[in-house]
Structures are given as C-alpha cells and as structure tokens.
C-alpha cells in the first residue's frame, strides 16, 4: 500500500514537472517573431554564450532555459560549430535546438554564365554579399599565389597573369559565409574535370592555356553553336599568316581592365594601344578574356578547315554572322549590315 502511494506521488511529481516544462517550452516561443535570422556558432563557443546570443537576437526568451534543456537532453556537445543557420523565432526553442544539432546549413547558389569574365563575377559576388568591396575578386584572380596554384594544377608551361578563363562556368552551391577563395577553388576544380581532363588523357593536343585563350574569344564572338568552329578557323588562319585578330571582345576586356568600359566601343578605342586588345597586339592576348563552355573549347581545339578570314554580325539581333574569304567581300557585308 505504501509503495503504491509512493508510486502515485512520484507519477504526480513527474506530471507536474512535465506539464511545467511543456508550458515553459511553449512560453519560450517568441510570438509573431521576426523574419528568419542568420545565426552561426563559433568553434569552441560555450553553451552559455550561444544561449545569450540567441536571447539577444530575439530567437528565444531565456538563455538559462536553453542551457538547461540542452543539458537535460544531453545535447550540449552536439551543437554544430562553424555552421550557418536560418532560424525562425516563432518555431520554438525545441525546433531551434534541433536545427543547431542537425546542422541544417544555410546555402546560396551562384550561377556563372558562359562568357562571364572576372569583372562580371566580381559584381555578382559583391551584390550577393560574398565580398564586401568591389574589385577584390578580380584582384584575387590575378594574385601570384592563385596563378602559381593554377600553373601547377594544370601543368601549364608558362607563367600566367590571371586565372581568367580557368574558372569554369556553372552553378555553384556555397554555404553562407564561404569565401571567394572557396568559390575560386570550386571553379578551378570544375575546370579540371570538364576541360583539363582532355589534356591529361592526351599528349597530342598541345598547349592547354593557348586553347583556353582562343576558346574565350570564340565564346564572346558567337553564341551560335556551328559558328564557333568557323570563328575558330578564322583565328587559326589569321595566326598562321601573322595577321592581327581584331576581335572586338578583346577591346572590351581591355577597356574593363582600364576601368573605362561604358558599354560602347568607339573608333578611338580601336586605335589606342591596350595590352589585351587584338587590334593593338599581334597574336593572342596574354590570358583568356572570359569563362567559356565545353563547346567553345572544342571549337578552339578542332577548328573547321576553311579559308575564311573575316566575319561580321548580321543586323537584327539574330546573333548570326556572315563569313568571307577576302577584305572586299567583308567590306560589302559591313556596309550592308553595320552601316
């Protein structure tokens, strides 16, 4: 009889504790709340510090209760440090604890289009908050350290001035808080898998970096698949007779480097000397001028065999071009489509 009463008493105490705990958990739901809040845990951060920051951010009502629950549930050592989370104050303290234990990481995706250059990528990263100052990504892609890394990674035979063109265009998923260095590494790894692999499997293809430069020009000159091989043919034919390439996209890139690109190529730009302008220099520019896709790369490696030497864009915005063998026919096409 005494044992039964004791068990009833213990059950009653557990009931009171349980209902009290449940009530306090419900009390710790922040009514209405704010929008989701970005929250991170530092390596080695104490439970007290985490609870205090959650409370100060308005995510929970009581840091002390957060600490008590984590210890009661034996979760103190299971909160994942170094992660970034989007926490909803109205989801309740138990859901918040669960999220911090499970490690639901907040991610962002960034798409680098074919034809994007480091200036385009830089602007995108700044807009997304991945970098805090315009220009630092472009500057980083020209740093000696990353260039040396790329030279070793792709077994390049010459010193390069930038990893422009070696950053493969694709969609990348980053954890919130990842750096531009992390993104650069992912893009270089992707280039290795998608492009450089052709060269690791063959000793007959030649200079990877030279093809990368050609492919970047092809990428900017035309978006029409079959035309890429004809543009490549013209690059090949002109280089063979030591004729200037005169590609407008190289002028645009040169103007971006000078910080004076305003969306328009002027006649003076074609006659001014710029190190990357193929109107100024003989041969290929010192580096690629953009990220390129596999189709442009294959066109650079395997140009169509033609005797074309000139091409001009057809008016009307179709993206197509007219290809010619001599300057006289080219001038007629320029007069027809561009003037």
Q: How do residues 235-275 score in pLDDT, each as one tens digit?
A: 999 999 999 999 999 999 999 999 999 999 999 999 999 99
15-48: pLDDT as tens digits: 334 444 444 444 444 554 445 676 778 888 899 9
The pLDDT, as a whole number, for residue 231 is 98
The answer to whether residues 150 and 190 touch, using CB atoms and an 8 Å cutoff, is no
User: In terms of DSSP bridges, do strands 107-111 and 321-324 run parallel, antiparallel, or are they unpaired?
Assistant: unpaired
The stretches in the chain having pLDDT less than 70 are 1-36, 38, 82-86, 104-106, 200-206
pLDDT at position 67 is 92
- Please report the pLDDT score of residue 102 as a whole number: 82
C-alpha torsion angle, residues 215, 218, 220, 224 (rounded to 10): -120
The percent helix, strand, coil of the chain (3-state, each to 5) is 50, 10, 40
* pLDDT reported for residue 1: 54
How confident is the model at residue 58, as a pLDDT?
86
pLDDT of residue 205: 57
Domains within the chain, CATH numbers bracketed: 26-102 (3.30.1490.480), 111-308 (no CATH)
Its sign, for the CA torsion 148, 150, 155, 158, is negative
| Separation of alpha carbons 138 and 272, rounded Å | 24
Q: Cα(142)–Cα(26) distance, rounded to whole angstroms?
A: 55
**Exposed / middle / buried, residue 206 (Cβ in 10 Å: 0-12, 13-18, 19+):** exposed
Per-residue pLDDT at 51: 92
CB 87 within 8 A of CB 59: yes
């Amino acid at each position: 009889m005494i044992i039964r009463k004791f068990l009833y008493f213990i059950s009653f105490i557990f009931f009171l504790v349980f209902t009290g705990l449940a009530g306090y958990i419900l009390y710790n739901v922040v009514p209405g709340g704010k929008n989701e809040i970005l929250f991170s845990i530092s390596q080695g951060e104490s439970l007290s510090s985490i609870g205090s920051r959650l409370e100060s951010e308005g995510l929970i009502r009581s840091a002390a209760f957060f600490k008590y629950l984590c210890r009661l549930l034996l979760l103190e050592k299971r909160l994942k440090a170094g992660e970034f989370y989007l926490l909803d104050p109205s989801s309740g303290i138990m859901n918040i604890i669960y999220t911090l234990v499970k490690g639901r990481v907040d991610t962002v995706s960034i798409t680098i289009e074919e034809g994007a250059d480091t200036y385009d990528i830089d602007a995108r990263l700044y807009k997304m908050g991945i970098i805090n100052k315009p220009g630092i990504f472009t500057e980083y892609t020209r740093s000696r350290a990353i260039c040396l890394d790329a030279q070793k990674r792709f077994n390049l035979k010459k010193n390069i001035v930038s990893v422009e063109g070696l950053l493969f265009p694709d969609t990348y998923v980053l954890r919130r808080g990842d750096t531009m260095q992390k993104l650069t590494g992912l893009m270089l790894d992707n280039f290795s898998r998608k492009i450089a692999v052709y060269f690791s499997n063959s000793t007959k293809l030649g200079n990877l970096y030279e093809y990368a430069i050609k492919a970047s020009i092809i990428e900017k000159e035309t978006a029409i698949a079959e035309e890429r091989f004809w543009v490549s043919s013209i690059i090949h034919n002109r280089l063979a007779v030591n004729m200037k390439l005169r590609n407008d996209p190289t002028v645009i890139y040169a103007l971006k480097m000078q910080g004076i690109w305003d969306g328009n190529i002027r006649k003076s730009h074609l006659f001014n000397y710029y190190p990357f302008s193929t109107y100024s220099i003989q041969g290929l520019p010192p580096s690629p001028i953009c990220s390129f896709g596999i189709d442009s790369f294959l066109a650079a490696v395997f140009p169509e065999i033609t005797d074309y030497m000139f091409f001009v864009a057809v008016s009307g915005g179709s993206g197509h071009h007219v290809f010619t063998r001599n300057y006289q026919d080219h001038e007629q096409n320029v007069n027809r489509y561009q003037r």
